[in-house]
A and B are shown apart, each in its own frame.
Chain A
């Protein structure tokens, strides 16, 4: 697997789309900090703390879709231009291929988040001036970030299953967005009608992540969140198993 992983890392390092995405998020971070510095917004009394809250909420809740984007960079060409055929014909075991795709996506997703976070911490510190209220959120954010990693990897495996099932990548992107950001609200609205909707809402990945964001904001996270870790672990096992099952016997 090491050889294939090294090849994938080499390929991804060459992807301009990835670099552009990273650059876009860095610009977004900078723009946010500049707005908070130079534009007076009435309810904001502590711009640095606000900036930290926006970053935490933004990274945790946008990560599922961002990872979909990174997966598209990792696997989009493979699916569209059938380049996996060469890899299979080259004798790379199929299960290793799936594992490598998950690891590559997770690596570049986490790298993107780490670079953007570091840049944000540095730029807001310099522009807005760090203070205790803002800094106390950082440890909570780190705990929430690490707690979410299995969940994110589980989502990547799930996307792989879906990507092999749906061939239209644009439609897949729209459906993923709806499933992540619209469906939880629909479940919430329908909750009074049936307990099924309440359960679906409660166990939706975005609800799990939203809970973490709230815990960080209210300064309630002092260690890894085992509930999120367990949820992510179960999701990772199930969706990776499904990805293996779909890919193992697939004819190309």
Chain B
């Protein structure tokens, strides 16, 4: 397998005349927990459907687990587990029967894999038919089906839908454990961006079918960390004063006469005092840090509802 578990090169998907994924190029590295972030209808699910073969690209090129032919995709998908949109399982069968069916379908020899998956999602002793399950239980079984046989690649669309707070924590820990211990590459989408920020190590921001930004967690944290933002009449002079008079070197000069100061030693009073003494006009000053949600909202142009 190459460095990328999944890569898209200018992939487009059109339903009828409606393009839902437009020229998307992305790369999910092997071992990533890759978070797809976007509003409803942004194209996240379609991207996941393209990876899993539920939809076929109208244009562009994909590579999945190093495979880039139709035959190869099928082989790659046999090493992939997924939960797209909803857990689609047989309502007339119980949890164990459903997993047993998929164990046979996947050609997994070890019968204990069914029990292992059921234990992981907490449904080991459940005897009810899937049709009688609560929303949360259905979601758990959907995840069990996805992780059955320890796939190399996991595609999970809104996996925490319907889970209670404990279930959400368990899910997070389970995904992190799979990623850490088995090296499973995970592509995950979620509406709950705070949850996403706790799971993923790389993010793709999707808006209106386009990839707006692909960024690592470290880079995002760098962008979102606590700061003091000043709007001044002279950023060059301000930078010089910060360094020479206050020994502050961790700052960034932004466009529009703005400067962001990240240094731990920043203190609004001392900074403004020095700047005023040296005839720098402070037009505005604010302190803050951005969340993933805030970053996303800013990125797509101020609209809410991720």
Given the interface pairs A81-B91, A83-B89, the reply to whether A88 lies near B105 with Cβ below 8 Å is no
Chain B 237-253 per-residue mask, 1 if CB under 8 angstroms from chain A, else 0: 00000000000000000
Distance between A79 CB and nearest chain B CB, rounded to angstroms: 11
Q: Chain A at the B interface: mostly helix, strand, loop or mixed?
A: helix
Which of B15, B56, B155 has most chain A Cβ within 10 Å? B56
Would you call A252 an interface residue if the criterion is a C-beta within 8 Å of the partner chain's C-beta atoms?
yes
- Count A/B pairs, Cβ under 8 Å: 80
Would you call B4 an interface residue if the criterion is a C-beta within 8 Å of the partner chain's C-beta atoms?
no
Given the interface pairs A10-B101, A14-B97, A91-B80, the reply to whether A249 lies near B56 with Cβ below 8 Å is yes
| In the bound complex, CA of A3 to CA of B106 (Å) | 7
Flag if A15 contacts B92 (CB, 8 Å): yes
Would you call A211 an interface residue if the criterion is a C-beta within 8 Å of the partner chain's C-beta atoms?
no
Distance between B63 CB and nearest chain A CB, rounded to angstroms: 15
| In the bound complex, CA of A176 to CA of B157 (Å) | 37
**Cβ contacts under 8 Å, B102 to chain A:** 7, 86, 90
Distance between A3 CB and nearest chain B CB, rounded to angstroms: 4
Distance between A231 CB and nearest chain B CB, rounded to angstroms: 34
Flag if A89 contacts B56 (CB, 8 Å): no
| In the bound complex, CA of A167 to CA of B210 (Å) | 32
Chain A 3-23 per-residue mask, 1 if CB under 8 angstroms from chain B, else 0: 110110011001110000000
Would you call B152 an interface residue if the criterion is a C-beta within 8 Å of the partner chain's C-beta atoms?
no
Distance between B264 CB and nearest chain A CB, rounded to angstroms: 48
Distance between B102 CB and nearest chain A CB, rounded to angstroms: 7
Would you call A136 an interface residue if the criterion is a C-beta within 8 Å of the partner chain's C-beta atoms?
no
Distance between B297 CB and nearest chain A CB, rounded to angstroms: 31
Interface residues in B82-111 (C-beta closer than 8 Å to A): 82, 84, 86, 88-93, 97, 100-102, 104-107
| In the bound complex, CA of A81 to CA of B90 (Å) | 7
Distance between B299 CB and nearest chain A CB, rounded to angstroms: 29
Given the interface pairs A89-B52, A90-B77, the reply to whether A81 lies near B84 with Cβ below 8 Å is no
Which B residues contact A (CB, under 8 angstroms)?
Answer: 15, 49, 52-56, 73-80, 82, 84, 86, 88-93, 97, 100-102, 104-107, 145, 155
Given contacts A11-B101, A16-B92, 6 further A-B contacts (CB under 8 A): A3-B105, A88-B52, A88-B54, A89-B52, A92-B74, A252-B49
